[in-house]
């Protein structure tokens, strides 16, 4: 699960956000949650350390822990201490995702005015944005763009795009 260092990163299950915003109008949702968002899309999880607490093995099938089959919404917030939001499996990142296909420091997100950019931080397994290989040069993100970091699937949204996604969430 993503975690926060210094309280700057907040994450919510998409199903929880959908339930708690079900009666809201778009303008109210955007006013309440003006951030840009990364959705960590549900899918196979490849933890770096597998033990009984993280995965159970039965009948040669792996079952993820409760809630692991749900997408997670991560609010992007660039604090004043550094000019970027880092994502990777290392504990010093702003967004920590313990997945063996991510590098310790995999991605750097940076806000430039109203636009967010992303760049690969020299990862081993690489990153694509909308299917195009991402390198060290920043790429401007548009709402709905899909990022594949290693095998971790992310989607970038502004608050209005997240609202529309939640209205279609299961």
pLDDT tens digits, 87-140: 999 999 999 999 999 999 999 999 988 899 999 999 999 999 999 999 999 999
pLDDT of amino acid 68? 58
119, 121, 33, 44: which is closest to 77 by C-alpha? 33
Query: For the chain, percent helix, then strand, then coil, each to nearest 5?
Result: 15, 30, 55
What's the mean per-residue pLDDT of the chain?
A: 85
DSSP one-letter code for 110: E
pLDDT exceeds 50 at position 1: no
**Range 63-69 average pLDDT:** 55
pLDDT of amino acid 78? 72
pLDDT of amino acid 45? 67
pLDDT of amino acid 112? 86
pLDDT exceeds 60 at position 62: no
Edge-to-edge strand list for the sheet holding 115-120 = 95-96, 85-88, 107-112, 115-120, 139-140
pLDDT exceeds 70 at position 2: no
Contact 13, 70 (CB under 8 A): yes
């Amino acid at each position: 699960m993503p975690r926060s260092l210094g309280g700057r990163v907040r994450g919510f299950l998409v199903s929880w956000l959908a339930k708690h915003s079900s009666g809201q109008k778009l303008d109210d949702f955007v006013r309440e949650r003006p951030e840009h968002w990364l959705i960590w899309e549900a899918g196979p999880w490849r933890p770096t350390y597998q033990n009984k607490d993280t995965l159970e093995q039965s009948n040669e099938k792996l079952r993820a822990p409760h809630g692991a089959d749900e997408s997670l919404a991560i609010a992007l917030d660039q604090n004043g201490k550094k000019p970027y939001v880092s994502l990777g499996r290392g504990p010093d990142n702003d967004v920590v995702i313990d997945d063996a296909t991510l590098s310790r420091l995999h991605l750097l997100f940076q806000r430039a005015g109203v636009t967010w950019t992303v760049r690969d931080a020299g990862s081993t397994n690489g990153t694509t944005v909308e299917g195009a290989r991402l390198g060290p040069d920043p790429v401007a993100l548009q709402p709905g763009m899909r990022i594949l970091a290693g095998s971790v699937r992310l989607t970038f949204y502004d608050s209005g795009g997240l609202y529309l996604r939640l209205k279609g969430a299961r």
